[in-house]
C-alpha cells in the first residue's frame, strides 16, 4: 500500500478520503444517513442494484448464484457513480417495514434463496415502504 493510502482523511462536512477514493457520510443521493463511495463507475448499473467489486476493482451486478458475485459491498445510489455501503437507502417501492431483505438473483428481495449451492447474503432491514437500512452480513452457502 502506498503512503497516500495509509490513512483515512475525514473532513468537517462528513467527506472522507482513502488515497484517490473519495466518499461521504450522510446527505445527497436519496440516502439520508449513509456511507457512500463516490467516483466509481456505475454507468452499467441502475439505482438500487446490489453490487460486488470484480477483480478489476469495478462494481458489477451481484447475484446469489456464485460465491464471487454474492460478496455484496453495497447498493448503487440514485446519484450518478455512487455506491452506498452502509446506512439508509431510499427510493424503493413496496418494502415491508421491519422485514429482512436478502441478495437474490441480481436483485434485493424479501425472500432468501433456497436453491442448493446458492449463497445467502443478509443485506438490509426495511425502515419503511421506501427505505432500507443497509447492514450487509457475511455470505452463507446453502
pTM of the model: 0.75
pLDDT in tens, 41-68: 889 999 999 999 998 888 999 999 999 9
Q: What is the mean pLDDT of the chain?
A: 80
Give percent of the chain with pLDDT exceeding 70. 77
Question: CA angle, corner 132, sides to 45 and 20, nearest 5?
Answer: 50
Domain count, the chain: 1
Whether residue 119 contacts residue 140, with contact meaning beta carbons closer than 8 Å, is answered with: yes
Residue 102's closest CA among 142, 137, 51, 141?
Answer: 137
Question: CA angle, corner 77, sides to 63 and 85, nearest 5?
Answer: 65
pLDDT in tens, 81-91: 888 888 888 88
Secondary-structure breakdown of the chain: helix, strand, coil percentages, each rounded to the nearest 5: 5, 40, 55
Structural domain for 90, as ranges: 3-141
Amino acid at each position: 500500500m502506498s503512503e497516500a493510502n495509509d490513512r483515512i482523511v475525514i473532513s468537517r462536512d462528513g467527506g472522507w478520503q482513502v488515497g484517490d477514493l473519495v466518499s461521504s457520510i450522510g446527505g445527497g443521493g436519496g440516502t439520508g444517513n449513509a456511507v457512500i463511495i463516490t467516483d466509481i463507475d456505475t454507468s452499467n448499473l441502475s439505482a438500487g442494484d446490489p453490487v460486488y467489486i470484480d477483480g478489476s476493482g469495478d462494481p458489477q451486478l451481484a447475484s446469489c448464484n456464485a460465491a464471487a458475485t454474492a460478496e455484496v459491498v453495497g447498493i448503487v445510489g440514485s446519484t450518478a457513480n455512487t455506491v452506498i455501503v452502509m446506512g439508509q437507502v431510499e427510493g424503493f417501492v413496496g418494502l415491508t417495514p421491519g422485514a429482512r431483505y436478502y441478495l437474490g438473483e441480481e436483485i434485493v428481495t424479501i425472500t432468501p434463496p433456497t436453491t442448493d449451492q446458492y449463497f445467502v447474503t443478509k443485506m438490509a432491514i426495511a425502515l419503511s415502504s421506501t427505505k432500507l437500512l443497509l447492514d450487509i452480513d457475511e455470505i452463507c452457502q446453502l
